[in-house]
């Protein structure tokens, strides 16, 4: 019976991750939205076209680990980089770079209405059906030795960039493409194998299958972990573990398992092993820049409980997986998953995966109690 529970849970978690994923339509819409931004920046009469603006995605959108927001009405954050390829550090100040891109965006009627400045980026808040919030991060290439972290894998250094920050005097280093390459490398074996399978099933060649059509157990696990975190920290936003930490640790711990549950179990137990301590400071190095600490906000003086809460959360995930694997039956699994991922989502997932799960519930025909209604209040709607 144990393997049956395992199968049911795997199917549910797989479907859960697919539900959390943004749809192909949304993916295409996001790409066409940001390509339109790129075209606007690259128009002939654009003030910055001479600097060769390049726009590309970064973060969870690039990694294929994005998830839908908890509430249907919430926006989708999509992170982009706008790199001016022909500019170098000595030729422009942080403010100039930020303004150059901002000014050009504001010349567009549509963007002017939806643009907002953030500490490091320009945010376009689309109010159309997509509800995208596109964070556009102004950047220039980092090609002097100083600006590329000395310990960085040389293969990843080609994509290093410098970015602006309103509150810091120094240019900040970043390397979103390098990070994505590292991430992909961590799941290479599974990725290739699955891409081949997808290609076969679509009777296409491997090259015809774009990366985003393939989702490895690592990506699925991260999506599931992120939603679990969203629910558990829904009333503790301040100490909610950030996605980059989850993503980095999970990618380290992943061993190219092909089974989603094996992957999740291994990832969850392995993640803490990649938390380092350097001179008494908790350290989660950026794989493309080991001098950058993703856990720099875990400073025990400012946020004494963040690390503890992160570890508690991982333990909770582990417990939840164990409990689900030891559940009595399908109904019990569904019941156990609901508080963790949201009733509505789990109901949808269960109904899609096991269309008649409700009917097998053996709903005992309890006698409906007689209730009298007195002085009812009228419903309203916001």
Q: Which residues bind another protein (CB under 8 A)?
A: 71-74, 232, 235, 237-238, 335, 338-340, 343-344, 347-348, 351, 358, 363, 366-373, 376-382
Work out how close the CB of 232 gets to another protein at its nearest, in angstroms, rounded to a whole number.
6
Work out how close the CB of 118 gets to another protein at its nearest, in angstroms, rounded to a whole number.
10
Cβ neighbours around 299 below 10 Å, total = 14
Pick 1 or 367: Cβ nearer another protein: 367
Work out how close the CB of 300 gets to another protein at its nearest, in angstroms, rounded to a whole number.
22
Pick 129 or 237: Cβ nearer another protein: 237
Pick 218 or 334: Cβ nearer another protein: 334
| Residue 132 backbone phi and psi in degrees, to 5 | -80, 140
Cβ neighbours around 325 below 10 Å, total = 16
The H-or-E segment that residue 137 falls in is strand 132-141
Pick 109 or 238: Cβ nearer another protein: 238
- How far CA 181 is from CA of 123, 146, 211, 226, in Å, comes to 25, 22, 12, 21
- How far CA 362 is from CA of 219, 324, 357, in Å, comes to 36, 21, 10
CA distance 313 to 317: 6
The HSE-up count of residue 306 (CA atoms within 13 Å, CB side) is 19
Pick 169 or 382: Cβ nearer another protein: 382
Work out how close the CB of 252 gets to another protein at its nearest, in angstroms, rounded to a whole number.
27
Work out how close the CB of 379 gets to another protein at its nearest, in angstroms, rounded to a whole number.
4
Work out how close the CB of 136 gets to another protein at its nearest, in angstroms, rounded to a whole number.
18
Pick 119 or 205: Cβ nearer another protein: 119
Pick 74 or 155: Cβ nearer another protein: 74
Sign, Cα dihedral of 272, 278, 279, 282: negative
- Shortest CA distance to 64 belongs to which of 54, 78, 74, 51? 78
CA distance 175 to 166: 19
Work out how close the CB of 156 gets to another protein at its nearest, in angstroms, rounded to a whole number.
31
Cβ neighbours around 171 below 10 Å, total = 19
Work out how close the CB of 364 gets to another protein at its nearest, in angstroms, rounded to a whole number.
8
CA 233 to chain centre: 16
What is the widest separation between alpha-carbon atoms in the chain?
Answer: 80
CA distance 277 to 283: 5
Burial 234-261 (b: 16+ CB within 10 A, else e): eeeeebbbebbbbbbbbbbbbebbeebb
Do 196 and 204 form a contact (C-beta atoms < 8 A)?
Answer: no
Pick 19 or 212: Cβ nearer another protein: 19
Work out how close the CB of 193 gets to another protein at its nearest, in angstroms, rounded to a whole number.
37
Pick 218 or 324: Cβ nearer another protein: 324
């Amino acid at each position: 019976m144990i393997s049956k529970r395992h199968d049911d849970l795997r199917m549910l978690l797989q479907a859960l991750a697919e539900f959390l994923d943004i749809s192909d339509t949304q993916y295409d819409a996001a790409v066409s939205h940001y390509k339109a931004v790129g075209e606007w920046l690259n128009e002939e009469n654009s003030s910055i076209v001479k600097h060769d603006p390049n726009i590309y995605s970064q973060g969870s959108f690039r990694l294929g680990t994005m998830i839908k927001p908890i509430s249907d009405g919430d926006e989708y954050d999509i992170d982009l980089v706008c790199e001016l390829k022909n500019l170098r550090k000595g030729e422009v100040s942080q403010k100039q770079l930020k303004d150059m891109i901002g000014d050009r965006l504001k010349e567009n009627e549509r963007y002017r209405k939806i643009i907002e400045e953030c500490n490091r980026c320009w945010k376009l808040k689309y109010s159309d059906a997509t509800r995208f919030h596109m964070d556009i991060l102004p950047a220039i290439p980092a090609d002097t030795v100083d600006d590329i972290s000395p310990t960085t894998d040389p293969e990843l250094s080609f994509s290093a960039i410098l970015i602006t920050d309103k509150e810091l005097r120094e240019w900040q280093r970043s390397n979103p493409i390098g990070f994505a390459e590292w991430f992909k490398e961590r799941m290479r074996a599974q990725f290739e194998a699955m891409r081949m399978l997808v290609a076969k099933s679509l009777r296409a060649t491997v090259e015809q299958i774009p990366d985003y059509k393939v989702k490895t157990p690592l990506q699925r696990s991260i999506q599931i972990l992120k939603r679990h975190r969203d629910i558990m920290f829904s009333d503790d936003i301040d100490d909610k573990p950030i996605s980059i930490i989850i993503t980095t640790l999970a990618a380290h711990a992943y061993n190219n398992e092909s089974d989603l549950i094996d992957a999740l179990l291994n990832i969850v137990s392995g993640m803490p092993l990649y938390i380092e301590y350097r001179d008494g400071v908790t350290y989660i190095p950026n794989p493309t820049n080991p001098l950058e600490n993703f856990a720099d906000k875990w400073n025990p003086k400012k946020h004494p409980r963040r690390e503890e809460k992160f570890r508690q959360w991982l333990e909770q995930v582990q417990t939840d997986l164990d409990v689900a694997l030891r559940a009595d039956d399908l109904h019990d699994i569904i019941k156990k998953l609901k508080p963790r991922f949201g009733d509505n989502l789990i109901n949808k997932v269960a109904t899609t995966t096991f269309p008649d799960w409700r009917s097998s519930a053996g709903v005992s025909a309890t006698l409906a109690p007689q209730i009298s209604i007195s002085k009812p209040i009228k419903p309203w709607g916001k």
